């Protein structure tokens, strides 16, 4: 669950830059295939390589992607062999089974299907036409590219991306096979190449194979490994390709590392400052010291430029007036916050966090001064009082303000709430899940809207029926505790009293 939330977060913070992308769609012919429940499986099965966008018509980022995706599809249609791009409205009721099957957590989500759908990978490339074309041309070819000259090596390795190169005296054998298998598995995230002559590589004169050298444009610039066990090789690639400190700013070259940062299973420390402000370099230097001293201890570090971190501020419920600030998010989604940070507080505060001396931070909207509408507003600070400790039967909708399906549900929930106005034991409520923290181990919210029901006695059930007034009322009546019915606690007390008599 935590990994899915981090993935959604990385999409949110990077979406800030999507608004700067502009393109013109001049083609009259549509090159993107439109799929639905009638042709999805058949289409996937007959292609060795096909790319599918899972979208929703109301999704703003999907609309921004559409002309770029169509432009890329047009260009890739003339590639040899052609690369097919398709799309499916995953919000349509009849198509939702595919969104569930392929674990689509947000829109747009792009998947690469290989070998008739036998292998499925995430698309982790750019979202503009030229970048999409370049990325998919690589993805449709071999998982690892053979380097046969120093000029080719210089072009493949470059100095702005992570590249994994295997060096093998002979391009065969168990080590070579393990390398190719890892390349195939991780190809959507990393570039792989191989060579039989290490002298083609930068600083490769003293290298003897078999060995894997990972080149990177940060920290020590390259690292080597001679462990060809599949799991060990995969771990080496993933861990070595993340900077000691991931930088989040307006440079698009840094964005892939931001995604990898949030894909990491580590606890995440994030420092947000004004990169051009007074004292910025001192803060950066001290933060690097702290990151270095905590290397290998399950704690990853990110440095964000406040000017370009509005998505992060929105996600965590922060304000620019609070910078410099540091926030730590654990794997169980607890958050710890220190605002208006001084440079000499960084090291001691991180140590206090590790020692369990820092209290968790809870993101919450203010508790409403008036809450008189039929559907009650719940925020993080009122969740216990209005849901867990209310002694009432509560239907709680988790929504996002931008969600089209949530907006369609508004009048329906209003009608449901009105129908229970004469029954004080039933409460219909809603919580903005983008602005309030909530216990994810209790409420498994993967998309919007998600509806849960908690009975007066504490039974929690997710609502998966049709979003109609009649079906929701039927669900509530089936699961609620009726007036006068003893709760589990009362039943236990009664049984204990009987035992004592």
SS3 of residue 14 by DSSP: helix
Q: Do residues 303 and 284 lie in contact, with contact meaning Cβ atoms separated by under 8 Å?
A: yes
Q: Do residues 201 and 213 lie in contact, with contact meaning Cβ atoms separated by under 8 Å?
A: yes
Tell me the chain's radius of gyration from C-alpha atoms: 26
Look up residue 449 and give its two tokens. Answer: 């809207």
CA 199 from chain centre, in angstroms, equals 40
Look up residue 144 and give its two tokens. Answer: 């690892």
Ordered alpha helix ranges (H), 37-172: 40-45, 60-76, 96-101, 129-139, 150-157
Look up residue 50 and give its two tokens. Answer: 């096909």
φ, ψ dihedrals at 87, nearest 5°: -145, 155
Please identify which of the residues 396, 403, 429, 456 carries the catalytic annotation: 403
Q: Can 59 be counted among the known catalytic residues?
A: yes
Q: What is the DSSP letter of 91?
A: T
Beta bridge partners of 451: 397, 463
Q: Do residues 440 and 386 lie in contact, with contact meaning Cβ atoms separated by under 8 Å?
A: no
User: For the chain, first and last CA: distance in Å?
Assistant: 48
Residue 260 CA to residue 238 CA, distance in Å, equals 8
Count CB-CB contacts under 10 A for residue 81. 8
Please identify which of the residues 13, 14, 52, 59 carries the catalytic annotation: 59
Starting at the earlier edge strand, list the strands of the sheet with 163-167.
Answer: 144-146, 191-195, 163-167, 211-215, 222-225
Please identify which of the residues 165, 375, 396, 406 carries the catalytic annotation: 406
Q: Can 62 be counted among the known catalytic residues?
A: yes
Q: How far is CA 389 from CA 385, 393, 425, in A?
A: 5, 11, 13
Please identify which of the residues 32, 52, 56, 62 carries the catalytic annotation: 62
Residues contacting 98, CB < 8 A, separation 6+: 37, 40, 54, 88, 90, 104
Q: How far is CA 465 from CA 42, 93, 458, in A?
A: 29, 12, 21
Which residues does the annotation mark as catalytic?
Answer: 59, 62, 403, 406
């Amino acid at each position: 669950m935590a990994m899915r939330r981090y993935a959604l977060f990385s999409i949110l913070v990077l979406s800030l830059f999507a608004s700067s992308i502009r393109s013109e769609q001049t083609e009259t012919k549509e090159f993107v295939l439109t799929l639905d429940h009638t042709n999805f499986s058949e289409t996937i099965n007959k292609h060795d390589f096909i790319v599918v966008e899972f979208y929703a018509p109301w999704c703003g980022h999907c609309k921004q992607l559409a002309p770029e995706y169509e432009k890329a599809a047009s260009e890739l249609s003339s590639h040899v062999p052609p690369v097919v791009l398709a799309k499916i409205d995953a919000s349509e009721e009849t198509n939702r089974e595919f969104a569930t099957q392929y674990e689509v957590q947000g829109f747009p989500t792009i998947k690469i299907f290989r070998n008739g759908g036998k292998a499925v990978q995430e698309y982790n490339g750019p979202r503009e036409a030229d970048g999409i074309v370049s990325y998919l041309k690589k993805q449709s070819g071999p998982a690892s590219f053979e380097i046969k000259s120093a000029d080719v090596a210089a072009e493949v390795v470059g100095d702005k991306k992570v590249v994994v190169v295997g060096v093998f005296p002979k391009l065969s054998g168990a080590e070579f096979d393990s390398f190719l298998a890892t390349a195939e598995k991780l190809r959507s995230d990393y570039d792989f190449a191989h060579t039989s002559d290490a002298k083609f590589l930068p600083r490769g004169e003293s290298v003897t194979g078999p060995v894997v050298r990972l080149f990177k444009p940060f920290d020590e610039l390259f690292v080597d490994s001679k462990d060809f066990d599949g799991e060990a090789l995969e771990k080496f690639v993933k861990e070595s390709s993340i900077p000691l400190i991931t930088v989040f700013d307006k440079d698009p070259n840094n964005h892939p590392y931001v995604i990898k940062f949030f894909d990491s299973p580590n606890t995440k420390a994030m420092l947000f400052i004004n990169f051009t402000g007074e004292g910025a370099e001192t803060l950066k230097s001290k933060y690097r010291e702290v990151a270095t001293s905590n290397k290998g201890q399950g704690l990853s570090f990110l440095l964000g430029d406040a000017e370009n971190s509005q998505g992060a501020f929105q996600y965590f419920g922060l304000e620019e007036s609070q910078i410099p600030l540091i926030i730590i998010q654990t794997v169980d989604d607890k958050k710890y916050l220190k605002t208006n940070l001084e440079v000499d507080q960084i090291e001691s505060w991180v140590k206090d966090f590790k020692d369990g001396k820092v209290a968790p931070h809870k993101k919450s909207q203010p508790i409403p001064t008036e809450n008189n509408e039929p559907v009650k507003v719940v925020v993080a600070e009122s969740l216990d009082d209005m849901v867990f400790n209310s002694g009432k039967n509560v239907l709680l909708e988790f929504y996002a303000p931008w969600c089209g399906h949530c907006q369609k549900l508004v009048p329906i929930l209003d009608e449901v709430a009105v129908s229970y106005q004469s029954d004080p034991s039933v409460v219909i409520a809603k919580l903005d899940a983008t602005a309030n923290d909530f216990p994810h181990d209790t409420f498994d919210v993967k998309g919007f809207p998600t509806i849960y029901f908690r009975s007066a006695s504490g039974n929690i059930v997710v609502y998966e029926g049709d979003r109609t007034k009649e079906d929701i009322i039927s669900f509530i009546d089936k699961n609620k505790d009726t007036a006068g019915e003893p709760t589990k606690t009362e039943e236990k007390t009664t049984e204990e009293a009987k035992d004592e008599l």
